[in-house]
Amino acid sequence: MSFGPLLRNQHSSTPSVVLLEVRDRNEPATSDPIAWVLVSRHEAVKMHPADGRVLEASITLSYERLGAARGLKAGFFGGSFSAFGREPMVSLSSSSPGTPGAIFLDLDGLRGQRIGRYLFDQVVAWAKRWPEAQVAQIRLRADDASDENNGPRRNRLYEACNIEFDYEGDGLKRAGRSRPMRAEALRTVNTWRVNISERPAMDWFNKLVDERFALQADTARLRQALKERNAEVRDAEQRPVRWALVQLWRQVAWRLS
């Protein structure tokens, strides 16, 4: 796992490991962070040995919520590109070209906090590197929309990126299939920036190490102070008259100073 910047066509990109600082979407300017999510980005490319054309590529965004005591706290989003077949194809849900995928994110207490939007936005931006590629069909399943809020939230995730669907069934938009489109028509959505901040992971780790060293130094000072206090108590118990005279002298000296 690399902590440095990835280079794409001599352009510096997002660090391969970032920390997401998440604030409440309803009070992003005033609330303290409600969660920290570590995101690791891995890209793989298979190129033609003769002319350097990209034959296959994939992106995997692995995420893990830090400090979560219980419940689901980790998962991944993925995308892929393949130049094989009748025409190039990109998938927005699978890291394996030609393999059906799915998007699933259920972090306890963080539904609707735009973490899924952030992850999907990274995949969409990556897929747009191949503007002429067809976007693999996305199938919406009715059982993924059993929750009255989850279905509309799922649909908004896709539709905001300019993906249109032919919905099936009872008009509740719980199931359907995406219409054909090319990657150039995809739209990135940066609404996640309202309540999510990207922090370089190394900066955060360095801060933790600095805080640990500072805590160790404070602990050492407290231990030394306690040791000196215990020695003073033992001296008072063993030689109470001398100890009382010393305390009296200190008070007189302080008042005269």
158 & 99 share domain: yes
124 & 11 share domain: yes
Structure tokens at 74: 């980790």
Tally of structural domains, the chain: 2
Residue 81 is part of which domain span?
5-194
Strands 74-82 and 134-135: unpaired
120 & 219 share domain: no
Structure tokens at 56: 């296959």
52 & 87 share domain: yes
User: In percent, how much of the chain has pLDDT > 90?
Assistant: 42
187 & 218 share domain: no
pLDDT of amino acid 3: 37
Q: Would you say residue 93 lies in a domain?
A: yes
Looking at the predicted structure, is the pLDDT value of residue 4 above 90? no
155 & 244 share domain: no
Residue with tokens 């005279």: 245
Q: Would you say residue 199 lies in a domain?
A: no
Residues 179, 164 contacting (CB under 8 angstroms): yes
Structure tokens at 169: 């069934």
Q: Would you say residue 229 lies in a domain?
A: yes
pLDDT of amino acid 129: 96
257 vs 132, residue with greater confidence: 132
pLDDT of amino acid 182: 97
CB atoms within 10 A of CB 77: 24
Q: Would you say residue 92 lies in a domain?
A: yes
Looking at the predicted structure, is the pLDDT value of residue 218 above 60? yes
Closest CA to 130 of 88, 165, 168: 88
120 & 31 share domain: yes
Q: Any alpha helices (H) in 179-200, and if so which ranges?
A: none
pLDDT of amino acid 6: 38
Q: Would you say residue 208 lies in a domain?
A: no
Looking at the predicted structure, is the pLDDT value of residue 174 above 60? yes
Strands 165-168 and 196-200: unpaired
Q: Mean pLDDT over all residues of the chain?
A: 83
- Fill in the amino acid letter for 40: S
pLDDT of amino acid 220: 76
113 vs 48, residue with greater confidence: 113
Looking at the predicted structure, is the pLDDT value of residue 244 above 80? no
pLDDT of amino acid 68: 65
User: In percent, how much of the chain has pLDDT > 70?
Assistant: 86
Q: Would you say residue 204 lies in a domain?
A: no
Look up residue 182 and give its DSSP letter.
B
Looking at the predicted structure, is the pLDDT value of residue 160 above 80? yes
Q: Would you say residue 137 lies in a domain?
A: yes
pLDDT of amino acid 33: 92
183 & 229 share domain: no
102 & 222 share domain: no
Looking at the predicted structure, is the pLDDT value of residue 127 above 80? yes
Q: Can you tell me the mean pLDDT for 229-238? A: 77
175 & 229 share domain: no
Q: Can you tell me the mean pLDDT for 23-52? A: 90
Residues 68-126 have pLDDT tens digits of 655 668 889 999 999 998 899 999 998 876 776 677 777 878 888 999 999 999 999 99
Which strand ranges, in their side-by-side order, compose the sheet holding 54-65?
134-135, 89-91, 74-82, 54-65, 33-47, 17-23, 196-200
188 & 221 share domain: no
Q: Would you say residue 205 lies in a domain?
A: no
137 & 224 share domain: no
